[in-house]
Amino acid sequence: MQNNLISQTSTMKTGSTPNDILPGMNQVGCILASPFVEYILDPMLARRRIYLRPVTRIAIGFSFVVLSMLYATVLQHFIYRSAPCFDHPSDCGVHQSDRQARPNVWYQAPVYLLIAVGEVFAMTTAMEYAEKHAPKGMKVLVQAINMLITGIGSAAALVIAEGAHDPYLVYFYGSLAGGMAMTTIIFCIFFRNNDKEDVVSSPEAGLHFDNGFINTARSHSEGSGRNSPE
């Protein structure tokens, strides 16, 4: 996928910016998004008694990746609308004078930033969830399966990359966005109940959902103490 995005930047107006520098925005996005989520977003939601459970967080991460592919689709559409080569920009030439009408290369930065936010929500949460819920003797195996799934995804990317060429790149990115959106929906349908189970076992959730019961029990205990004979 990254190779396709680098190829996309090679058909844009780069100026003095190397077209392979944009992937670094993914690391920048992770550095910015991680502390924001941990120290600002999560505490702000917690003050409003909103707790993002693991499946919800993973689904949010998937959604950001979907948005990144939608953005790449729209960006590719505007590249294809640019003169003078339109939907065959790679055949137009490598000189900057041929690219003046195309979008600037920095317009691709949001693709990597959205992917970074998706990784912060989805990947870190999935690894933490696997570590927390896997049996003690199977933690390494679970992490290995996680890496295996990543490898299968990379192999699938090699297969679909055969269709990543002009003038079909808009459909290529659009299909990726649609497939990821469908995967997100299926994931939510099959695993939504896991959040409810996590709520039951979560200490802050127990305090949140059973707050009325705790107050009632405390009042009852205090009342019993006052009424008990000394």
Of residues 198 and 25, the one with the higher pLDDT is 25
Rounded-to-integer distance, Cα 2 and Cα 116, Å:
13
**The pTM is what?**
0.80
pLDDT score for 9 = 86
pLDDT score for 230 = 42
Minimum mean pLDDT range among 76-90, 113-127, 169-183: 76-90
pLDDT score for 156 = 80
Q: How many percent of the chain have pLDDT more than 90?
A: 42
End-to-end CA distance of the chain: give it in Å, rounded.
75
pLDDT score for 199 = 59
pLDDT score for 61 = 96
Which band of pLDDT confidence, cut at 50, 70 and 90, is reported for residue 53? very high
Which band of pLDDT confidence, cut at 50, 70 and 90, is reported for residue 39? very high
Q: Where are the domains of the chain?
A: 2-122+166-227
pLDDT score for 159 = 79
Q: Calculate the average pLDDT of the chain.
A: 81
Of residues 217 and 151, the one with the higher pLDDT is 151
Tokens standing for 12?
């844009």
pLDDT score for 98 = 63
